[in-house]
Amino acid sequence: MLSQDWPQTYQEAVALQESLRGQVRLIPLSRPPRFVAGADAIAARADRRIFGAIAVYSYPELELVEEAGAAGVCPFPYRTGLLSFREVPILAAAFEKLKQRPDVLLVDGQGIAHPRGLGLATHLGLVLEVPTIGVAKSRLLGNGEEPGRDAGAAIPLIWQGKVVGLILRTQTGKKPFYLSPGHLITLAESREIVMGCVRRYRSPIPLRQADGLSRRLRSAASDPEETRRAPAPDKWR
DNA sequence: GCGACAG
DNA sequence: ATCTTGTCGC
Number of domains in chain A: 1
∠ CA A16-A22-A23, nearest 5°, is 90
**Residue with CA nearest C2 C1'?**
A45
Report angle CA A126, A184, A8 to the nearest 5 degrees. Answer: 15
Nearest to A222 by CA among A45, A29, A9: A45
pLDDT of residue A231: 39
Kindly state whether residue A223 falls inside one of the protein's structural domains. no
CB distance A213 to A202 below 8 Å = no
Calculate the angstrom distance between C1' of C4 and CA of A197.
32
- Lowest mean pLDDT: which of A42-46, A180-184, A192-196? A42-46
Model pLDDT for residues A206-231, shown as the tens digit of each residue: 999 999 999 999 988 876 554 433 33
The integer distance in angstroms from the CA atom of A116 to the C1' atom of B3 is: 20
Residue A54: domain span? 33-218
CA distances from A19 to A24, A118, A126 (A): 11, 10, 12
pLDDT tens for residues A71-88? 999 999 999 999 999 999
> What's the pLDDT tens digit per position in A112-128?
999 999 999 999 999 99
For residue A237, being part of any structural domain is answered with: no
Q: Is residue A234 part of a domain?
A: no
**A125 in a structural domain:** yes
Which residues touch A127 (CB under 8 Å, ≥6 apart)? A2, A88, A92
The residue whose CA lies nearest the C1' of nucleotide C3 is A45
Is A6 part of a structural domain of the chain? no
Whether residue A230 lies inside any domain: the answer is: no
Position A22 in a domain: no
What CATH number corresponds to the domain at position A118? 3.30.2170.10
Gap from A68 CA to C1 C1', Å: 22
Structural domain contains residue A198 = yes
In this structure, the protein residues whose CB atom falls closer than 7 angstroms to any atom of nucleic acid strand B are A 40-43, 78, 80-84, 108-110, 114, 119-121, 134, 136-141
Instruction: Judge whether A67 and A111 are in contact, CB under 8 Å.
Output: no
